[in-house]
């Protein structure tokens, strides 16, 4: 956690380039990915309210081999929140004022001062109500800023896409996906595709596979882990006879259900992978598991990374964002809503 400092102001001054949108002229959002500026007066920041925010936004991410926080957090009091700071990409604004507010409220806004930008505003009449409200909304705020960063990255991939790999995947599985332009195809067969970015010190991989949907128990942690182990054995390590598996002892995999693409169901599995049989390699993975309702098949897309001895948060999340570009056949073929105006 850092105070908003001189280097931030210098960065903002250099990057305040105008861009037009529906709201008129707005500056380009500044700051690094997974940074949040908290606008909160010092007495609250140094008290329980600030502790709640830090405990949520600076909590350790699950399923990473070393401790890394969800976000890098900066703080500034309300009276110092000037035009220079309003361009930061993620902002949580809090205000306590008994003369203006009768109860605690939360509002979300995108591109409020800059583009692209995510802003959450909490207002409350008293310190105690601010604290209680933050305690209730902390998980929601964490998820909001996470999802906004993932969607921004996914939008970026739509402009910088490996069209050959994306088209191959669409022909094979019937899904739309935006494979980043710096990923290359490694392997494909009837029900499996593997792409990789091996440029630089951090390796990023994307694998997609499918199988018939015959059992509602598919969407359980035990089933998905067993399926992952059976499918990804085909990924071999540099030591002869080694192959990819799932790590169960150090950080067991975590499964949850999430909503994606305007309410579509998605199973999310996170964990650690490691090479079994001799190769000393491992790292974090995340996969999305969804049902192709038209073809009655399960589609699994997984991103995993290898970055030994290095920070992994941003690279891990960038790989995860690829999964948010996927559209299933039922979503591709959806009829757009049409409004008819009576004469």
DSSP symbols for 236-298: B-SSTT-EEEEE-SSS--EEEEEEETTTEEEEEEEEEEEEESS---EEEEEEEEEEETTTTEE
19, 28 contact by CB (below 8 A): yes
Q: How far apart are the first and last CA of the chain?
A: 59
pLDDT of residue 333: 77
Q: Which helix (H) or strand (E) holds 148?
A: helix 127-159
Residue 250: what pLDDT?
Answer: 84
Mean pLDDT for all residues in the chain: 91
Residues 6+ apart with CB under 8 A from 330: 292, 293, 294
For 189, residues 6+ apart whose C-beta sits below 8 A from its C-beta are none
The predicted structure's pLDDT at residue 193? 98
Average pLDDT estimate for 144-155: 96
Q: How confident is the model at residue 14 (pLDDT cuts 50, 70, 90)?
A: very low
170 token code pair: 């669409």
For residue 12, pLDDT over 50 is answered with no
Q: Report the alpha-carbon distance of residue 288 to residue 217 in Å, rounded.
A: 16
Range with lowest mean pLDDT among 44-53, 274-283, 309-318: 274-283
Question: How far apart (Å, rounded) are the C-alpha atoms in residues 288 and 276?
Answer: 23
Q: Indicate whether 10 pLDDT > 70.
A: no
Q: Could you tell me if 130 and 94 are in contact, meaning their C-beta atoms sit under 8 angstroms apart?
A: yes
> What DSSP assignment string belongs to 307-324?
-TTS--HHHHHHHHHHHT
Whether 79 contacts 43, CB under 8 Å: no
pTM metric for this prediction: 0.88
d(CA 343, CA 333): 30
Determine whether 130 is exposed, middle or buried from the number of CB atoms within 10 Å of its CB (0-12, 13-18, 19+): buried
Question: How does pLDDT run across 237-283, given as a tens digit for each residue?
Answer: 889 899 999 999 988 999 999 999 888 999 999 999 999 988 789 99
- For helices 127-159 and 313-323, the axis angle rounded to 10 degrees is 70
* pLDDT for 17 beyond 90: no
- Does residue 342 surpass a pLDDT of 70? no
Distances (CA, A) of 193 to 227, 237, 257: 16, 17, 24
Cβ contacts of 238 within 8 Å, gap of 6 or more: 279, 281
Mean pLDDT (whole number) for 136-161: 96
**What pLDDT does 16 receive?**
44
**Per-residue pLDDT reduced to its tens digit, 34-44:** 999 999 999 99
pLDDT at 24: 57
């Amino acid at each position: 956690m850092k105070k908003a400092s001189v280097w931030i102001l210098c960065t903002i001054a250099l990057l305040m380039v105008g861009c037009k949108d529906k709201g008129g002229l707005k500056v380009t959002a500044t700051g690094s990915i997974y940074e949040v500026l908290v606008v909160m007066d010092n007495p609250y920041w140094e008290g329980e309210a600030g502790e709640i925010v830090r405990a949520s936004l600076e909590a350790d991410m699950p399923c990473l081999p070393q401790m890394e926080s969800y976000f890098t957090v900066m703080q500034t009091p309300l009276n110092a929140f000037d035009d220079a700071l309003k361009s930061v990409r993620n902002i949580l604004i809090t205000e306590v004022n008994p003369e203006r507010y009768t109860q605690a409220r939360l509002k979300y806004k995108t591109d409020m001062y800059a583009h692209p930008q995510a802003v959450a505003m909490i207002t409350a009449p008293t310190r105690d109500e601010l604290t209680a409200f933050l305690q209730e909304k902390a998980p929601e705020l964490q998820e909001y800023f996470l999802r906004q960063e993932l969607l921004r990255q996914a939008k970026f991939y739509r402009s910088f896409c490996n069209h050959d790999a994306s088209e191959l995947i669409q022909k094979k599985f019937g899904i739309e996906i935006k494979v980043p332009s710096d990923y290359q195809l490694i392997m494909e067969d009837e029900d499996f595709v593997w792409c990789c970015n091996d440029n630089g010190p951090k390796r990023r991989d994307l694998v997609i596979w499918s199988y018939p949907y015959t059992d509602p128990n598919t969407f359980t942690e035990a089933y998905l882990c067993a399926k992952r182990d059976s499918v990804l054995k085909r990924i071999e390590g540099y030591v002869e006879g080694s192959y990819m598996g799932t790590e169960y002892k150090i950080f067991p995999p975590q499964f949850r259900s999430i909503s994606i693409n305007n309410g579509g169901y998605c199973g999310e599995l996170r964990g650690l992978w490691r090479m079994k049989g001799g190769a000393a390699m491992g790292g974090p993975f995340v996969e999305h598991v969804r049902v192709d309702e038209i073809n009655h098949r399960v589609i699994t897309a997984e991103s995993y990374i290898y970055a030994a001895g290095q920070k992994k948060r941003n690279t891990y999340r960038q790989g995860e964002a690829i999964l948010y570009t996927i559209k299933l056949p039922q979503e591709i073929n959806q009829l757009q809503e049409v409004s008819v105006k009576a004469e």
